Amino acid sequence: MAENLLETDDSDFETRVLQADKPVLVDFWAPWCGPCKGIGLMVDKLAEIYGDRILFVKCNADDSQQSAARYGIKSIPTLMFFKDGSVFDKISGMTNQAKIEAVLKKILTGGQGAAPFIVQ
């Protein structure tokens, strides 16, 4: 795993994601999920490009059910974008790199996120 791509679980999600000093993209995935592998490759590539300004974190939804439930992860892959400890945007299911990158650019330029409805 790239040095600008971290792993998290229920035990350190709050520290790594919610208390991060820069925006965070969390990739909720599972090893058995085929589409997750495709999204994972895009996340790896984007981490190389934006890793100095955005933290990229992978969270195995099977192993971190508490975090997945807290953010309403009903299907994987799901990408959650956080800024200043709050949800900024969310992409569920297979998507393309351009759509992910558009959200990253919006975070970096101070744009408004979609702020998806999350029951906590």
Q: 36 an active-site residue?
A: yes
The helix/strand/coil state of 57 is: strand
Which of 17, 36, 39, 68 is labelled catalytic? 36
- CATH fold, domain 5-108, is Glutaredoxin (3.40.30)
CA distances from 119 to 18, 67, 69, 87 (A): 16, 12, 9, 12
In the chain, how long is the greatest CA-to-CA distance? 36
CA angle 62, 68, 73 (to 5 degrees): 105
Place of tokens 């679980």: 9
- Which residue ranges make up each domain of the chain? 5-108
Q: 33 an active-site residue?
A: yes
C-alpha torsion angle, residues 29, 30, 32, 38 (rounded to 10): 20
CA angle 80, 84, 86 (to 5 degrees): 45
Name residue 24's beta-bridge partners.
55, 82
| Per-residue tens of pLDDT for the chain, all 120 residues | 456 789 999 999 999 999 999 999 999 999 999 999 999 999 999 999 999 999 999 999 999 999 999 999 999 999 999 999 999 999 999 999 999 999 999 999 987 777 555 444
pLDDT given for residue 120 in this prediction: 45
Which of 6, 26, 33, 73 is labelled catalytic? 33
pTM for the predicted model, two decimal places: 0.90
pLDDT given for residue 119 in this prediction: 46
Name residue 28's beta-bridge partners.
59, 78
pLDDT given for residue 116 in this prediction: 54
